[in-house]
């Protein structure tokens, strides 16, 4: 399949220029004014062409719980999340489709799904998500979320003796599962990759990290994990290792140019140097960090230290959407309040670069996608500059990032295959998806969590918060 996008606006060093773009099979083959037509013609006039963005951290199945979890910190929020997590692979399929659709409709052409696995149906969960991503046509990096410690181990002890029950699966079983997933589903040429993705230091043993590193080296897999999302995790790392989580991950060899780490809110200056030295990527999830009160990640410091930064929506139970443009906007302007020197602030063009090329660097694929260059994969998005929210005509990228763009994407392609045409998702019916999400859920504003009530007293005590009566905990 070949096509030519004619008379389209693209950014350049001077501002913008109008060009034609030729695509043959899965690649961009020419970018210049007045090119001969190859294949189908796409009228690019009054449209802006950008490389697709990367939604570099999410958890698709959280879609089933969006809007329902009350304002609470991660350690309590996650207890509730896991108590009501979906248990049917068909739900995992629908939420993967929903995540892919919302990511595509807001400029993303790749998604990193740190996929929560249904206990006892782990491979079925991965198969369901993989089918969902293939059906929609988005480039998918499936990162099965594994751990080998119980949730309660994720809260610092504060020096008390705390016994944790053992996790439902062994370290070896988790690693075997991952290897099977790689053999069954890792198909980089087809746009589906498996990543090794221990959830983070808070719930994983060193043996699990070591096994993930070994698989990553053996199969050339990218590595992903949460890192120092909360203050509690910073305390926990000191209890567990006697040093920072970043120093520990460096010592055990997890950090590398293939490693992307979600959140990175509580790093100190030495940690930031290690992130730069190891060429690890920070995935910035600003909306989740605000929603869970985790803090403001020191993104301007990362950028000044030369650390690559990309953007993620994070799962829909801590955001509660997959609007990538919203995450990029918030992730850019949030930091203006952290540094009085406005010369350090993130410009809209820098934000676009972080979301596209930064996302590709974080997946060790910047040689393949993430920029508008001849030879790169055709992961492309056309923005309709006649959409009301992108008018009047000022600076298209400025308004795309700083405004509130609504339904602005006219066409998009992944690997040269069209996934959005005339503002509509091509390969699945969004109406059918909405119908199934409606039918398979119910209004439930009064849900109570027993798991939160069990955890809350210890969390409050360790974090130095006043004691409360437990009955208040789940209101």
The three-state secondary structure class of 175 is helix
Shortest separation between residue 61's beta carbon and Zn ion, angstroms? 12
Per-residue burial over 80-96, b = 16 or more CB atoms within 10 Å of its CB, e = otherwise: bbebbbbeebebbbbbb
Which CB, 283 or 420, lies closer to Zn ion? 283
Between 134 and 226, CB nearer to Zn ion? 226
In terms of CB distance, is 288 or 364 closer to Zn ion? 288
**By C-beta, is 20 or 314 nearer to Zn ion?**
314
What are the tokens at 16?
């913008």
Cα angle, residue 86 at apex, residues 85 and 88 outer, rounded to 5°: 150
Say how many Å lie between the first and final Cα of the chain, rounded.
56
Compute the CA torsion angle 94, 97, 100, 104 (nearest 10 deg).
-130
446, HSE (Cβ side, Cα atoms, 13 Å): 0
Question: Residue 42: which residues within 8 A CB-CB, separation 6 or more?
Answer: 3, 4, 5, 6, 382, 411
Q: Is 206 left (phi over 0), alpha (psi -120 to 50) or beta?
A: alpha
CA distance linking residue 364 with residue 438, whole number of Å: 38
Shortest gap between Cβ of 324 and Zn ion (angstroms)? 15
Residue 286: CB minimum distance to Zn ion, A: 13
Number of other CB atoms surrounding residue 317 within 10 Å: 25
Residue nearer to Zn ion on the CB measure, 147 or 418: 147
Tell me whether residue 50 or residue 283 sits nearer to Zn ion (CB atom): 283
Q: How many CA atoms lie within 13 A of 252 on its CB side?
A: 20
Q: State the nearest-atom distance from the C-beta of 200 to Zn ion, in Å.
A: 9
Cβ proximity to Zn ion: between 314 and 456 the closer is 314
Output the CA–CA distances (angstroms, integers) from residue 122 to 83, 142, 146, in the order listed: 17, 13, 10
> Which of helix, strand or coil describes residue 108?
strand
Q: Which of residues 292-331 bind Zn ion (CB under 5 A)?
A: 314
Q: Which is nearer to Zn ion, 23 or 225 (CB)?
A: 225
Minimum distance of Zn ion from residue 340's CB (angstroms): 31
Q: How far is the CB of 142 from Zn ion (least distance, A)?
A: 14
Shortest gap between Cβ of 163 and Zn ion (angstroms)? 27
Contact present, 427 and 421 (Cβ < 8 Å): no
- Provide the greatest CA pair distance for the chain: 74
Name residue, tokens 């439902």. 168
Tokens 């596209």, located at residue? 356
Site map (CB under 5 A) of Zn ion, residues 377-416, x = contact: ----------------------------------------
Nearer to Zn ion, 314 or 320 (CB): 314
Query: Which residues fall within 8 angstroms of residue 136, CB to CB, at 6 or more apart?
Result: 97, 100, 101, 104, 419, 425, 427, 428
CB of 179 to Zn ion, least distance (A): 23
* Lookup: tokens for 340: 């009085």
From the CB of 282, what's the least distance to Zn ion, in Å?
A: 13
Instruction: Pick the closer one to Zn ion by CB: 193 or 314.
Output: 314
Least distance from C-beta 226 to Zn ion, angstroms?
5
The rounded radius of gyration (Å) of the Cα atoms in the chain is 22
Q: Please say which residue, 49 or 324, places its beta carbon nearer to Zn ion.
A: 324
Whether 310 and 270 have beta carbons less than 8 Å apart is answered as no
Phi, psi (5° rounding) for residue 419?
-120, -20
Minimum distance from CB of 262 to Zn ion (Å)? 5
CA pair distance 303, 463, nearest whole angstrom = 30
**Residues near Zn ion (CB under 5 A):** 314
């Amino acid at each position: 399949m070949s096509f030519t996008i004619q008379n389209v606006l693209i950014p350049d060093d001077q501002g913008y220029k109008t060009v034609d773009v030729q695509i043959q099979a899965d690649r961009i083959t020419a970018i210049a004014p007045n090119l001969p037509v190859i294949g189908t013609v796409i009228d690019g006039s009054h449209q802006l062409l950008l490389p697709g963005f990367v939604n570099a951290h999410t958890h698709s199945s959280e879609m089933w719980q969006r809007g329902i979890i009350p304002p609470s910190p991660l350690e309590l929020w996650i207890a509730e999340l896991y108590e009501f997590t979906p248990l049917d692979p068909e739900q995992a399929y629908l939420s993967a489709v929903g995540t892919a659709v919302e990511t595509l409709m807001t400029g993303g052409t790749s998604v990193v799904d740190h996929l929560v696995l249904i206990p006892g149906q782990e491979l079925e969960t991965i198969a369901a998500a993989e089918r969902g991503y293939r059906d929609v046509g988005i480039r998918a990096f499936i990162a099965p979320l594994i751990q080998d410690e119980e949730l309660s181990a994720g809260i610092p002890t504060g020096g008390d003796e705390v016994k944790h029950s053992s996790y439902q699966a062994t370290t070896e079983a988790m690693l075997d599962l991952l290897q099977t997933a790689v053999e069954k589903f890792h198909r980089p040429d087809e746009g589906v990759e498996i990543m090794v993705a221990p959830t983070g230091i808070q719930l994983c043993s060193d043996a699990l990290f070591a096994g993930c590193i070994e698989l990553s080296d053996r199969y050339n897999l990218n590595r992903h994990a949460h890192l120092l999302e909360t203050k509690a995790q910073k305390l926990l790392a000191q209890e567990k290792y006697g040093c920072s989580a970043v120093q520990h991950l460096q010592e055990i060899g997890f950090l590398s140019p293939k490693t992307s780490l979600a959140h990175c809110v509580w790093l100190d200056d030495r940690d930031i140097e290690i992130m730069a030295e190891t060429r690890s990527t920070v995935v910035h999830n600003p909306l989740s960090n605000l929603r869970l009160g985790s803090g403001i990640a020191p993104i301007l410091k990362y950028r000044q230290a030369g650390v690559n930064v990309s953007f993620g929506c994070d799962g829909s139970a801590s955001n509660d959407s997959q609007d990538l443009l919203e995450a990029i906007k918030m992730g850019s302007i949030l930091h203006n309040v952290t540094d009085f020197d406005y010369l350090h602030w993130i410009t809209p063009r820098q934000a676009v670069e972080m979301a596209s090329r930064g996302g590709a660097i974080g997946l060790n694929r910047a040689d393949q996608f993430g920029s508008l260059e001849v030879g790169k994969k055709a992961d492309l998005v056309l923005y309709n500059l006649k959409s009301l929210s992108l008018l009047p005509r000022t600076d298209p990228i400025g308004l795309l990032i700083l405004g509130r763009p609504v339904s602005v994407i006219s066409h998009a392609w992944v690997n040269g295959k069209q996934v959005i045409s005339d503002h509509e998702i091509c390969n699945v019916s969004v109406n059918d998806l909405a119908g199934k999400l409606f039918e398979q859920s119910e209004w439930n504003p009064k849900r109570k969590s027993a798991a939160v009530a069990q955890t809350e007293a210890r969390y409050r005590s360790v974090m130095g918060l006043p004691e409360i009566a437990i009955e208040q905990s789940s209101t």
